[in-house]
Chain A
């Protein structure tokens, strides 16, 4: 291997610290830089926050179940719905999508890991720091005393100290800033991975639709996060240091916040949905036994959404008094954006049309997404029509819309993804009977919860109110919605039980092997053993077609019928090549994130604490830069440089291969 490394390490290595070792035990998870473990941790954390956010939702529904509800008071109610929304958007759907992005992007493009493995670990821990900070707001200084209470959109001037004197909004501003850093770093890392780490022959238009959708999502994050960063800084300056950005008494225009928030906020809703669109685009072809219909249209419509998503933000502000011209322009642009979305739905239907459908659990979820998202998309078009939105805005009709798209679209898609890729990540399938049952319970509960909200909204029930009177006529459908919410909770509990029971059963059965490709699927991630070996693939894959793996498995006979060309066992890698060079674990990503967490609490409570955080943070950055590239004494195949490079690559003059990562050389 010296042949490859020598040009890069001709200078003296910088190392002064040693790197952690070993890949067993809980410590190895804290210091891991393996994209698969990081993906799994993202998924686990997101599920944890999903339970937290779900319990909050149940309290909302308990309070609203009957007129004059008195389960939680009006002040607490503001806190509960705010932290529910913030949790679900920033700590559940986004990290769950990040779980799939981390786990699957390198596999789907045939790479050994992401471009910057240590930065990847940092993204996760930094996200977790933000999540911990936000969640702790519920109990620091007493239950719900310092919880954010201005809604997830947190409109000014309500968010100022004058109207919200607790520390809640400080938690919001600082916490979202921290998760923002995590998303931004991860976006840069994953874009570099997809653009730079593709295996031989993996041209852009041979990448799976999921890879494309995740790539577009990362670009949206790259450009949307800095906008909310600005908004959050202004808010923080106003609250902590008395600046005037949203101080109406000093002449400020609170619409500035609305613009900044929604310039971020509308791309954000596509950040939430595009990963699920990608997942559905992997599941439906697999279980229809057909290639995706209109691959190029699928990709192009995703790109179109990525661009058009920047030109519609003010549809959230139709009633803000911004003027008829703006209202008309944003109304039209919003109607246009439904077109590429519709293209996707039609393409999924066309993929299923005359396919050999297998209704496995992942497929049920995917079909659930297609149908539920369509309902949400249609209600979206009804609010695109500004005069009608004037009636709908700030009512439960909006709440119905965004739950159909975010729960019925994004979250169901992500759950489908759990069932689909579970065998790849853990080596066994989740139980299908429980999976299907939990799907139906969730779907039915979902429709009972959010379907009636269309009616309530059109009847005039405002959102964000803690209760309503008996004579307003809202009681019946509210009760239905509250019952539905508990049905969803049962569905989620069934999913969790399924995870527990399937794992136990698999362990008791002596951990049987599911094989590399349990669903007879199409992407490169199925071309290696399950669970994915630490080094992903045994050797570089050379890609010649879209759905390369499928085309290696199947060919056509003389009559044009699709026939098996070779057994999977011959095509897939078995994970036996333990000589692939792996990046070593690192202490610093988690230390750096701890520094950021301290800075966060320090900004809210005490600047001395922030100073301590800054010291830790600076120390971690230097530790990071001075860490040796690799640990030469590490056990296993860490640092084992023998024979990691297929000779063919060198012959062609390539100085390395995507299988091999010199991450320590990064300036990261």
Chain B
């Protein structure tokens, strides 16, 4: 994104109707994401608190994790943040066609990630790790499941934007809506990086 594009986005998102200059909608999203930090904070702490509480012969992180696979799906999710940035900058420039392409690409990458998670869950389940198997299972599925649900909601929002755009309801004036959903999307990505690091890379 060039500097002028960035300046344009900034100018568009500045809202003169409010005391802070940030629109109500954007402020609300920031507040919501602040609250979400505590939600994931609680889930991550629960996971860390519980992951070691399994018997010596119990199925645990080392038995199920497939790091290369999850690394690839994490990379896919990371890339979706990049396409989201393009989606925001294209609508700020009024390029509706590109915007649609990037929205669709972001949703598709997100869906790939979720599909990977579904595959992973099925694989773990067939290896004997269910939600009720042990404390590791309960905590792992709760944490990653909540994250997956967040990604899914993000995909639904992106697809709604896409449909709005096709029907001619998403113009440059609504660029901020795309930006706000972008904030959510980036947040969900960042949370995944934390989860991936804590859960997969440093299982002990």
Contacts and interface: CB of A to CB of B under 8 A. Distances in A.
B31 A222 contact: yes
B186 to A, nearest CB: 16
A192 B17 CA distance: 13
A189 B28 contact: yes
Given A251-B135, A256-B49, A237 B142 contact: yes
Contacts of B138: 237, 243-245
Nearest to A109: B19
B135 A244 contact: yes
A541 to B, nearest CB: 14
Contacts of B137: 244
A245 B135 contact: yes
B35 interface: yes
A247 B32 CA distance: 32
B51 to A, nearest CB: 11
Interface size class of B (residues with CB under 8 A): 35 or more
B25 A196 contact: no
B142 A234 contact: yes
B67 interface: no
A202 B134 CA distance: 56
A496 interface: no
A184 B39 CA distance: 12
Interface residues of A, number: 55
Contacts, number: 142
**Is chain B's interface secondary structure helix, strand, loop, or mixed overall?**
helix
B35 A184 contact: yes
B28 A234 contact: no
A243 B131 contact: yes
A250 B171 CA distance: 55
A653 B135 contact: no
Interface in A191-224: 191-192, 195-198, 202, 222-224
A8 interface: yes
Interface in B1-42: 16-20, 22-25, 27-29, 31-32, 34-36, 38-39, 41-42
Contacts of A139: none
Contacts of B19: 195-198, 202, 658
Interface stretch (A10-18, A398-406, A607-615): A10-18
B28 A223 contact: no
B146 to A, nearest CB: 8
A196 B27 contact: yes
A198 B160 CA distance: 33
Contact of B34 (A223, A231, A237, A665): A223
Contacts of A243: 131-132, 138, 142
Contacts of A32: none
A231 B17 contact: no
Question: Which of A14, A241, A251, A656 counts the most B-chain CB atoms under 10 A from its CB?
Answer: A251
A188 B31 CA distance: 6
Nearest to B32: A188
A665 B35 CA distance: 23
A657 interface: yes
Given A234-B142, A242-B132, A667-B25, A192 B31 contact: yes
Interface string A639-668: 000000000000001111110001001111
Given A226-B38, A668-B25, A196 B50 contact: no
A247 B53 CA distance: 11
B24 A115 contact: yes
A12 B168 contact: yes
A666 B134 contact: no
Given A226-B35, A237-B142, A242-B132, A197 B18 contact: yes
Contacts of A256: 46, 49-50
B38 A252 contact: no
Contacts of B139: 245
Contact of A195 (B20, B34, B135): B20
B108 interface: no
Given A244-B132, A253-B53, A666-B25, A222 B34 contact: yes
A116 interface: yes
Contacts of B68: none
Interface in B117-166: 131-132, 134-135, 137-139, 142, 160, 164
A33 B132 CA distance: 44
Contact of A251 (B18, B53, B142, B170): B53
B17 A223 contact: no
A229 interface: yes
B39 A226 contact: yes
Contacts of B42: 226-227, 229-231, 260
Given A192-B28, A256-B49, A233 B169 contact: no
A197 B18 CA distance: 6
Contacts of A14: 164, 169
Nearest to B19: A198
Contacts of A668: 25, 28
A184 B160 CA distance: 24
Interface string A170-189: 00000000000000100111
A7 interface: yes
Contacts of B168: 11-12
A260 B18 CA distance: 36
A80 interface: no
Given A14-B169, A191-B31, A230-B46, 13 more contacts: A11-B170, A188-B28, A192-B24, A192-B31, A196-B23, A196-B27, A224-B38, A226-B41, A245-B139, A252-B135, A654-B17, A658-B18, A666-B24
Closest 8 CB pairs of A and B: A230-B42, A243-B138, A226-B39, A196-B18, A656-B17, A226-B38, A251-B53, A115-B24
Interface of A: 7-8, 10-12, 14, 115-116, 184, 187-189, 191-192, 195-198, 202, 222-227, 229-231, 233-234, 237, 241-245, 247, 250-253, 256, 260, 625, 653-658, 662, 665-668
23 contacts: A10-B171, A11-B170, A12-B168, A12-B169, A116-B24, A192-B24, A196-B20, A197-B24, A226-B42, A230-B39, A230-B42, A237-B131, A241-B132, A242-B131, A245-B46, A251-B54, A252-B53, A253-B49, A253-B53, A256-B49, A654-B16, A655-B16, A655-B17
